[in-house]
Structure 1
């Protein structure tokens, strides 16, 4: 029997990680899906929309009566408090709630572990909790969570790779791709500095930077000031424009400070790119450094340049990684598989 599922999400026009995750799952559900948006809008901060969003949510719970609500916080103070309120309101009305914790703040996690009572009281009311990493699950257990905790993943949109042909990968590295929010925490300046090191040895290399963010202008100014050639800033891209950049690139770099499960890494794998990133979040649960790429322990540009150079110098290694990553992502990360897993879990735990 189909269920009516209400997903609480940031507004899709913002195209953040959570909104993007659910956009990629649209049209794949067997159940009936509705959305309720909350948080900031374009040019409208979250504190202004808070009570408006909350009232809309309460009315929807009362008059639409969903079978289950899916809330999508990150483990950060404001989001945990806000989504905890959404959880409690649904439970008051005897509606099941699934919690999907996306991002993870290690400092805040340690605070909760020391004083877990309120967090435990609220979030143990979840039917089950999704997390993106086994280490996150272990910390929830330390917080006293006793409801089921399940591992899940972000996704690769099936449509994104429909025209991609993995057999066109030659193993030659000419273009390095950075695709993420242009913020310090994503390692944009580390990526650029690693490229500077490599460019002195391999003049043909190019770097493509896809995304927008608070550090975009600073990154552009840095490139201009250093007179670095062959760095292309595309700005934010979506849909098949993103697919083109993955297809035109040969290796993916993300010197991130921390992640849950970075969608861009899974997408890059699906397009057959070796991955040079860091041992963060859910990547630690599956990443094979002998086949998929490299996990760099530190944040030094020299370390990232060193790992990238291994693939520049060894086309056979690059091609083998491309073939392995593509097949691995197809088998595990396609949106259709992610939807099927969520619906199976809902059917099992709600019954």
Structure 2
């Protein structure tokens, strides 16, 4: 029996497992979760799975799966010191479990991957963020150049990758020197949805992390300016993050009814929110290494088009079904919004093109869980041949 260790990013993998065991997709999350797909893949592979988690293990679980609780170390320590200590503890768990394959989320600092490397197992990444902004150079000064080469040396320790976007895959391959499996996923939503009937843009949505580097204040500023010419325009912000207080103060200070923060949404509420929207804006700044922006896939099932900044890799998937502006460029964001607002035919064409992409998503075999199976089969085949 093949043995796999999964080191996921943040999230309640135990709670998701409890839902999965009952045959239910986690209702708290609007898309299929990575952990539920991992459970399904390992069950299909008849593999033994070890899941590393910060949460307490479930009281009841299948014989082929185990949960190893390894909490975060003291918050009083620096980020890298805390991560170093946690990975060292994870390594002890790996040595005891002796897996054939370790799949580690890219939330683990890539500079510390050497702590998880061992010739007894294959080490593969699940990459959810780019290593530098899409369309930009990997480094711009001596400090970023040194960082790039440290990342590159650690990437070369890995034996393959599951990538959230083509951009992530291309960056990974550009740093690797060996012929290793590199697979790119297409996200999947959990349920069928009825498209809304929008014919023009009045309700604009932002859904995601409430952080400065996500471009929320750039978007808010542009919406306030456009409100003068388009009095029916309104932008709704949903999500959580460290900049919620700043956003709420900004909305209050603007003394405008063009902006509203509606808080954190459940999986069901996410789709209700998107269904009620006309346009989704993903204004990520160039200072953030966006891996994909799954929210664009979530909105697509409602035929709600997206306006992406050009550092968001999701734009490469939707191509003719989205609009793109230059990251950090307020005037370009404003111009692209005006173009969509004032041209209902263009807006409707984006919705029409989205239909084809939604059909492709439903037929796709590139779900992350399927890629896990392909990765395992590829690696085990090479192991047998060697």
TM-score of the pair, normalised by structure 2: 0.73
The residue aligned with 2:132 is 106
Cα shift at 1:214 = 1.6
| 5-14 or 47-56, larger mean C-alpha shift | 47-56
Q: Among residues 300, 307, 318, which one is paired with 1:276 in the alignment?
A: 307
Q: CA contact under 8 A between 2:188 and 2:367: conserved in structure 1?
A: no
Q: Using a 3 Å threshold, how does the CA distance of structure 1 residues 301 and 112 change in structure 2: closer, same or farther? A: closer
- Distance, in Å, in 2 between the alignment partners of 1:122 and 1:95 is 16
The answer on whether the counterparts of 2:129 and 2:291 sit within 8 Å (CA) in structure 1 is yes
Distance 1:339 1:233, change over 3 A: same
Determine if the alignment matches structure 1 residue 96 to structure 2 residue 126. Answer: no
Q: Is contact 1:84–1:123 with CA below 8 Å preserved after alignment?
A: no
TM alignment of 1:170-185, pairs within 5 A? 170-185=198-213
Residue 277 of structure 1: how far off its partner (Å): 1.1
Q: Which residue of 1 aligns with 2:11?
A: 12
Q: Greater CA deviation, 305-314 or 225-234?
A: 305-314
Change (3 A) 1:349 1:9: same
Preserved CA contact (<8 Å) 2:208 2:239: yes
Q: Which has the higher helix share?
A: 1
**Structure 2 partner of 1:344:** 374
- Report the Cα distance in structure 2 between the residues aligned to 1:261 and 1:326, rounded to whole angstroms: 20
Q: Indicate whether 1:210 and 2:238 are aligned.
A: yes
Query: Is residue 2:94 matched to residue 1:61?
Result: yes
SS at match of 1:35: strand
Following superposition of structure 1 onto structure 2, how do residues 303-342 of structure 1 map, counting pairs within 5 Å?
A: 303-332=332-361, 337-342=367-372
TM-aligned CA deviation for residue 309 of structure 1 = 2.6
Alignment length (residue pairs): 335
- How much does 1:330 deviate? 4.6
| Contact 2:114/2:157, CA 8 A, preserved across alignment | no
Deviation of 1:187 after TM superposition, in Å, equals 0.3
RMSD: 3.6
SS of 1:286 mapped into structure 2: helix
Q: Shift in Å at residue 343 of structure 1?
A: 1.5
SS of the residue corresponding to residue 158 of structure 1 reads coil
Partner SS, residue 70 of structure 1: strand
Structure 2 equivalent of residue 301 of structure 1: 330
Q: 1:165 to 1:42 in 2, by over 3 A?
A: farther
SS at match of 1:106: coil
Q: Secondary structure at the match of 2:8?
A: strand
Match of 1:152 in 2: 184
Q: CA deviation at 1:140?
A: 4.4
User: d(CA) in 1 for partners of 2:144 and 2:81?
Assistant: 27
Q: Deviations over 1:235-282 (max 9, x none)?
A: 222311111111111110011014121111222223211111112253
Residues 223-238 of structure 1 correspond to what in structure 2 (within 5 A)? 223-238=251-266
Cα distance change, pair 156–135 in 1 and its aligned pair in 2 (3 A): closer
For normalisation by structure 1, the TM-score amounts to 0.80
- Distance in 1 separating the partners of 2:340 and 2:82: 48
Equivalence for 1:37: 53
Q: Structure 2: where are the runs of 5+ without partners?
A: 17-28, 55-69, 382-386
